[in-house]
Copies of this chain bind each other. A is one copy, B any other.
Amino acid sequence: MIEVTAIDAVLRTLADPTRRAIFERVVNSDEITVVELTRGSGVTQGAISQHLKSLKQAGLVAERPEGRNVYYRAEPEGLAPLADWMSHYAVFWRERFANLKTLLKEIDP
């Protein structure tokens, strides 16, 4: 049995461009179904479902079945491992300090 850490799962999941695009569409929607995600994605419905499974396992999305539709939404905590990992490189953020400051002001003025 191979141990897979959270940061590992998140990075591996976001590394694929198609899957990342799906995640971004989910983020930009309040909720979105598989058919909607399939439309204009360039891949088949089956592929979309496979990617959603990966995203779900990585904790990046959650689902809400309703009738024959399944609504997907982004899961905020999913990005936490990535945020934590990046925080170890605080020194790298120094140069982007202004951006961060602006960001924080937007969040909590």
Residues of A participating in the B interface, judged by any CB pair closer than 8 Å = 8, 11-12, 14-15, 17, 20, 27, 74, 76-77, 79-80, 82-84, 86-87, 89-97, 99-101, 103-104, 106-108
Contact = CB atoms under 8 A, between A and B. Distances in A.
B107 A104 contact: no
Contacts of A93: 83, 103, 107
A14 B91 CA distance: 18
Contacts of A84: 99
28 contacts: A8-B17, A11-B11, A11-B14, A11-B20, A15-B15, A27-B89, A74-B92, A76-B91, A76-B92, A76-B94, A76-B95, A77-B95, A79-B86, A79-B89, A79-B92, A82-B86, A83-B86, A83-B99, A86-B86, A87-B100, A87-B103, A90-B103, A90-B107, A93-B107, A94-B107, A97-B108, A100-B100, A101-B104
